[in-house]
Structure 1
Amino acid sequence: MAWALPDPFVIDIRVADEAIDAYRHVNNSEYLRWVEQSSWAHSEALGLTLERYRQLDRAMVVHRHELDYLAPAFAGDELQLATWIVECDGRFSLTRRFQLVRVKDAKTLLQARTRFACVALSTGRPKRLPEEYRRIYGGVVIEE
């Protein structure tokens, strides 16, 4: 696959009938759900599970989503969704980039970007990234 950036973390998606809307293509809300799914899968692969977030009393919450829908997906399509961490400021935030590609023709269907802010789970208030987040997330940053 010709990815926009090197070394992506990739999840495979098969479009289910339930993802299809009245226009007979994937509903836009599904793309956002897949973006969240791939973010968690990547974090878990890096060792930062929900349980670890709870132990550290920290969470990365969405501050901003940008989704550019480039072409539709349909029931039964086989897709791959790549994600990269493209920024980790080492203080309060990190940014992920995403690219969704249909496997059969290598067409990019979506490009997206999400900025996350670090908060304490116990209070919901902004908190500095724990050293573990800085080390793990910061260690996989890909330059754009």
Structure 2
Amino acid sequence: MTAEQNIDWDLPDPFTLEITVREEDTDRLGHANNVVYVRWLEDVSWAHIESLGMTWELHEATGKAMAITRTEIDYLASANAGDRLILGTWLTGFDGRFRSSRQFQLVRPADGKTLVRAVSTHACVNMKTQRPSRAPKEFAEILSAASVSGGKGLAPD
């Protein structure tokens, strides 16, 4: 059984991104900087949504995008340079019109420890005006089909 198979994911079947913490990802305390975690959340979000067919080309064609309106991050343990991590994500909600949500879990497979739990919410916006806009049919179909429910949320076990 691989280390990934031993991970206790908060929800089933996450979309995952493997990360190796680089020296330049660390801060003065010697662990991954909080700004780097936000970058990783964005990286896995784009990779996931594009894998579902919500590509940048579709964004441009519809003139719409899902903009982050809120992100909450619980830092449960630190990551250090050289650590190999697996970042999992799930779409956890879509209201059928404007808003969607996403959950994240960052795990270090070497010890199975969850280092970070996070949630983000998004609102559909018109790319030209940057104002809220109803999600196009193409987004709604993808977001509705991919959304899962529940999970452990931000509270530690």
2:104 is paired with a residue whose SS is: strand
Which stretches of structure 1, 4 residues or more, deviate above 3 A after TM superposition?
A: none
What code does the residue aligned with 2:37 have?
Answer: Y
Query: Structure 2 stretches of 5 or more lacking a match?
Result: 1-6, 151-157
Other-structure match for 2:87: 81
Percent sequence identity over aligned pairs: 47
* Pairs aligned (count): 144
Cross-structure match for 2:149: 143
Structure 1, unpaired ranges of 5+ = none
Q: Partner residue of 1:29? A: 35
* Matching of residue 120 in structure 1 with residue 126 in structure 2: yes
Query: What SS class does the counterpart of residue 39 from structure 1 fall into?
Result: helix
1:33-92 deviations in whole A, cap 9, x for unaligned?
100000000011011111210111001001000000000000010000000011100110
Distance (whole Å) between structure 2 residues aligned to residue 78 and residue 103 of structure 1: 7
Letter in 1 for 2:86: Q
CA distance in 2: counterparts of 1:138 and 1:17, whole angstroms: 39
TM-score between both structures, scaled by the size of structure 1: 0.98
Match of 1:13 among 16, 19, 26: 19
State the partner residue of 2:113.
107
Structure 2: distance between partners of 1:76 and 1:50? 32
Q: Residue 126 of structure 1 aligns to a residue in which SS?
A: coil
| Match 2:60 to one of 54, 61, 86 | 54
Q: Find 1:2's aligned residue among 5, 8, 11.
A: 8
Match for residue 129 of structure 1?
A: 135
Give the counterpart letter for 1:124 in structure 2: Q
- Aligned residue for 2:147, secondary structure, equals coil
Q: Give the counterpart letter for 1:96 in structure 2.
A: R
Alpha-carbon distance between aligned partners in 2 of 1:60 and 1:82, rounded to the nearest angstrom: 19
The CA RMSD over aligned residues, in Å, is: 0.6
Partner secondary structure for residue 42 of structure 1: helix
